[in-house]
Amino acid sequence: MNEPLAVAMGDEVMDQLRSRFSPVVVQVPDFGDRFWVYQIVDLRNDSFVQLGKMCNTTPGFYLLVGPDWQGEAPRGITRIFRSPTNTGLVGPRIAQNDTAEDKKAVQQPLAQVLMYPLADFDGAMKSIDWSGLPHLPAKAPTGGGETKWVLPRRSSMCCRRCSPMGRAFPVRRRAMPRCSRRSSAIRHSKPR
C-alpha cells in the first residue's frame, strides 16, 4: 500500500525517516557480584552488543546508534554500539534469589536500569521507582488442560482461498481435501 509513496518520493522520504531516529543511552548500574546481562538485538534478532558480567562490562553509559548515525558521542559515554537496523530490542536480565531479602536488595540496581534518547543524557545516573507500577495478578486457570493445536490439513481451512491468511497460507493443493464450492483453480470442500 505504501509502495507508490516510497517510489514517488524516493530519497526525500528516506532522509526524513533517518533524521527521526535518535541514538539511545543505555545505563548500566553497578550490580556488584550479581550476575546480569543486557540482551540487545537488531530487527533480525541478531545480537550486536556485549554488555554483561561475562563480558567484564563496567558500570556506565552506553550508546546504541543506527546504521546511518553520523554524530559524536558526548563525554561520559563509555562505548558506542552500532546496530545494522534502526529498530531493535533490549532485554536486561538480573539474577536474583527467590528470597524476600534478595528481592528487596535487587531493587536498588534495578531502579537504574534505564534507556532514554541521547538528548536526555546529562552524565548523571538516573533512576526510577519501579515499585509504583500496578500489580496485575495472574488469572486462575479456567480450562481443562493443554491447548489443542490445529493442524492445517484437518482444520476448516480447506485451501488458500478459504484460509484467513489467504494466499500467504503455505499449503500444497495436493494436501488439501476437495471442496464443494467451485473455483477456476481449486475444488473446495466443506469445512470439517
Q: Where are the domains of the chain?
A: 16-123, 152-192
Q: What is the mean pLDDT of residues 116-142?
A: 87
* 16-123: CATH superfamily: Domain of unknown function DUF1254 (2.60.40.1610)
Q: Is the pLDDT of residue 25 over 50?
A: yes
Nearest in space to 174 (alpha carbons), one of 191, 156, 159: 159
Residue matched to cell numbers 489443542:
148
Q: What is the pTM of this model?
A: 0.62
SS3 state at 86: coil
At 51-91, the pLDDT tens digits run: 999 999 999 999 999 999 999 999 999 999 999 998 889 99
Query: What integer pLDDT is reported at residue 29 of this predicted model?
Result: 96
Question: Exposure of 28 by Cβ count < 10 A (0-12 exposed, 13-18 middle, 19+ buried)?
Answer: buried
**CB within 8 A of 139, min separation 6: which ones?**
none
Q: Is 170 or 74 the better-scoring residue by pLDDT?
A: 74
Query: What integer pLDDT is reported at residue 108 of this predicted model?
Result: 92
Q: Half-sphere exposure of 187 toward its Cβ, with a 13 Å CA cutoff? A: 6
Query: What integer pLDDT is reported at residue 188 of this predicted model?
Result: 46
Average pLDDT, the chain: 75
| % residues pLDDT > 90 (the chain) | 47
In 3-state terms the chain splits into helix, strand, coil percentages (rounded to 5) of 25, 20, 55
Q: Are 67 and 82 in contact (CB under 8 A)?
A: yes
Q: Is 162 or 123 the better-scoring residue by pLDDT?
A: 123
Q: Is the pLDDT of residue 115 over 50?
A: yes
Q: Distance of alpha carbon 132 from its chain centroid, rounded?
A: 24
